Amino acid sequence: MAPEKAVGAVAAAALSLALLTYFVGGFNRKHADREYREAVRKGRAKRGVIDAIGNTPLIRIDSLSEATGCEILAKCEFLNPGGSVKDRVAVKIIEEALESGKLVQGGVVTEGSAGSTAISLATVAPAYGCKCHVVIPDDAAIEKSQIIEALGATVERVRPVSITHRDHFVNIARRRAAEATELAARESSTRSSHVNSKVQNLELPSVFPSDCKGGFFADQFENLANFRAHYEGTGPEIWEQTGGKLHAFVAAAGTGGTVAGVSKFLQEQNPNIKCFLIDPPGSGLFNKVTRGVMYTREEAEGRRLKNPFDTVTEGIGINRMTNNFLMAKLDGAFKGSDMEAVEMSRFLLKNDGLFIGSSSAMNCVGAVQVAQLLGPGHTIVTILCDNGIRHLSKFHNLQYLAEHGLTPTATGLEFMGIS
């Protein structure tokens, strides 16, 4: 065969093979896609990380149920892909922002968060084609900012100051979103007026790349998307998983989104369901719920020079009213101590194999207090917000606890007055 004919034959064969591979591949892809859609329809498969959020298991905590004579049930929010209850909030905040046009693909979501919400935003933002920038107080557990950076978000660690200070981490996060939006506006006007963008960029120092498509401040404390995540998600799931047969719900509050969304939903289904707050040391919410006053003079944020809270628990306790907390329907409040939270975490680890974070432990302290108030025979639901891995440098660090006089010593539930 002439060389040019041989080359032609090889090219034709290669083309046929490529077409065959393409069509067979296409068939396989279509087939796989059909199989996948069928699996989704039958509830066996989920589409992407977003669909894997929520619908967490509700488990019975055997040790606490047996000790109190109540059914103590806990929603395993630590099983969300981003590791906490805040995944639901991150999804809702981003989806509502995209729907309203306040956030666009390629934009950056900013947040001032001591950890969990930031991790959740960093986890889900890429699934929406967005970026994430987080401002975090520098006394928060170091593993949290390491995780956020590993997820591809940018992190600013700042000195903890009062919320009234312009450089409080929440205020810086709000500012960063405005900067990103201004940067995007300048870039777009620069492009349309053909001005040298490098020169313009110098006028606005920014932590964001010049191709950023604007910023959106997640604002988990005031943004009611947070409340709606629980009102439309966590609350209805608890109602369904208990068959509506529960007597009480209890949780601590950081932003107040969880306790507000769940309490409002449950009380709308059945006004007899009692909803309670459990409040850590240094928080003013207990006073607000039980006495109508937000805080004592010495607790007022803005008066404290450094960290406004005196607790080892993270993510819970606050000394100001938030839009989210205002939505809560509460029948009462309890106080929990750091020692009780530490002891509870060790008790649940030993007896139930539950390795939980500090706010989850405080919630379980609350569940036992509700059981003691209502007496045996009641079903009480609480939240396991995140797991212990997030807390290795503080709450689950014996040396750190010893330095703060919090070495656990209990053999049972004696710290809750149960022998």
Lay out the site mask for ligand PLP across 65-104 (x = CB under 6 A, - = otherwise). Answer: -------------------x-x------------------
User: Site for ligand PLP (CB under 6 A): which residue of 54, 82, 112, 256?
Assistant: 256
The nearer residue to ligand PLP, 54 or 257, going by C-beta atoms, is 257
Contact 73/351 with Cβ under 8 angstroms? no
Residue 284 tokens, joined: 């003013």
Q: How far is the CB of 315 from ligand PLP (least distance, A)?
A: 3
Residues numbered 344 to 363 that lie near ligand PLP (CB under 6 A) are 357, 359
Which of residues 63, 117, 154, 369 is near ligand PLP by CB under 6 A? 117
- Please state the closest distance from residue 331 (CB atom) to ligand PLP, in A: 17
Shortest spacing between CB 329 and ligand PLP, in angstroms? 14
Find the distance separating the first CA and the last CA of the chain, reported in whole Å: 96
Alpha carbon distance 60, 72 (integer Å): 6
From the CB of 38, what's the least distance to ligand PLP, in Å? 36
Closer CB to ligand PLP, 119 or 184, in the complex: 119
Ramachandran bin of 339, using left for φ above 0, alpha for ψ from -120 to 50, beta for the remaining angles: alpha
Name which of 223 and 359 has its Cβ closer to ligand PLP: 359
Q: Which residue lies nearest ligand PLP, judged by its C-beta? A: 315
With respect to ligand PLP, which residue has the nearer C-beta, 86 or 133? Answer: 86
Sequence length of the chain is: 419
Question: Stretches 19-27, 207-215, 250-258, 392-400: which one binds ligand PLP (CB under 6 A)?
Answer: 250-258
Candidates 76, 218, 253, 277: give the one binding ligand PLP (CB under 6 A): 253
123 binds ligand PLP (CB under 6 A): no
Q: Dihedrals φ, ψ of 244, to 5°?
A: 75, 5
* Contacting residue, 386, 388, 394, 401, with ligand PLP by CB under 6 A: 386
- Rounded Cα–Cα distance for residues 408 and 395 (Å): 11
Pair of tokens at residue 296: 């004592």
Instruction: Select 116 or 267, whichever has its Cβ closest to ligand PLP.
Output: 116
Return the DSSP state at 231.
Answer: I
Residue 168: strand, helix, or coil: coil
Nearer to ligand PLP, 242 or 387 (CB): 387
**Which residues have a Cβ under 8 Å from the Cβ of 368 and sit 6 or more positions away?**
64, 67, 68, 72, 344, 413, 416, 418
**Measured from the CB atom, is 356 or 380 closer to ligand PLP?**
356
Q: How far apart are CA 402 and CA 393, in angstroms?
A: 13
Q: Which tokens hold the place of 208? A: 């964001």
CB contact at 8 A, 154 and 212: no
Copy the structure tokens of residue 379. 């079903």
- Cα–Cα dist 322/310, whole Å: 20
Q: Which is nearer to ligand PLP, 115 or 214 (CB)?
A: 115
Q: Which residues bind ligand PLP (CB under 6 A)?
A: 84, 86, 115-117, 253-259, 315-316, 357, 359, 385-386
